[in-house]
Amino acid sequence: MNKLQLIVPTRHVDNRGFFAEIYTRKKYIEIGIHDEFVQDNHSLSKHAGTLRGLHFQAPPFAQAKLVRCGKGAIFDVVVDIRKGSPNYGNWKGYHLTEKNGHQIYIPIGFAHGFVTLEDNSEIVYKCSNYYNQKKELSIVWNDPDINIKWPLNTQPIIGKKDKHAPLLRELNSPFIYKENS
């Protein structure tokens, strides 16, 4: 049963730094994550306040993601877009940093975005399906119905695609909520 979850890998720390296993399929299956990841992505945002999202891919190219911050710090956001879900349109946010090493597992049926909290922040994530530009969709980052509390003091740096994304109410979501999902 794949559910949205925060994962805190064990870090072995000493005077040299740390070591952490960030993905071991067997261990992830034990905590209920059964996806086979087929693609890894790595994104650098040069400036704090860079906002990317809210993105997702429609079936048959829908993607589950395993997200972490490799350098710097981000505020990572997921929005439930599964029709019929008791949490439809609700969001959750997580601070992912290189220091805390936390990861977020995002199952299919959630839109995803983040804002960088430090310059030169890097996000690294695994995807359970291949990228398909024709199936990539988005929801505008500042949708008033979702009302995400982004930790921003100024206007974010946003790409053209994200600036002009539609509202959630304009979306005919391709995802259906299933009990125990």
Mean pLDDT of the chain: 95
Please, what's the largest Cα pairwise distance for the chain?
53
In a domain, 70, yes or no: yes
In a domain, 99, yes or no: yes
CA 72 to chain centre: 16
Q: Residue 181: is its pLDDT beyond 70? A: no
In a domain, 61, yes or no: yes
Q: Residue 2: is its pLDDT beyond 70? A: no
Q: Residue 39: is its pLDDT beyond 80? A: yes
CATH number at residue 142: 2.60.120.10
Residue 179 pLDDT:
79
The residues facing 103 across adjacent strands are 7, 68
d(C-alpha 114, C-alpha 112), whole Å:
7
Q: 109: phi > 0 → left, psi -120 to 50 → alpha, else beta; which?
A: left
Q: Structural domain of residue 44, as residue ranges?
A: 5-176
User: Based on the structure, what is the number of domains in the chain?
Assistant: 1
Q: What is the pLDDT of residues 84-109, one digit of tens each?
A: 999 999 999 999 999 999 999 999 99
Q: What is the DSSP letter of 36?
A: P
**Which residues are marked as active site?**
55, 125
Name the 3-class secondary structure at 39.
strand
Q: What is the pLDDT of residues 50-86, one digit of tens each?
A: 999 999 999 999 999 999 999 999 999 999 999 999 9
In a domain, 139, yes or no: yes
In a domain, 127, yes or no: yes
Question: Percent of the chain beyond pLDDT 70?
Answer: 98
Structure tokens that stand for 104 in this block: 């977020």
Phi, psi of 71 (to 5 degrees): -150, 140
Give me the amino acid identity at 163.
K
In a domain, 181, yes or no: no
Q: What is the pLDDT of residues 117-156, one digit of tens each?
A: 999 999 999 999 999 999 999 999 999 999 999 999 999 9
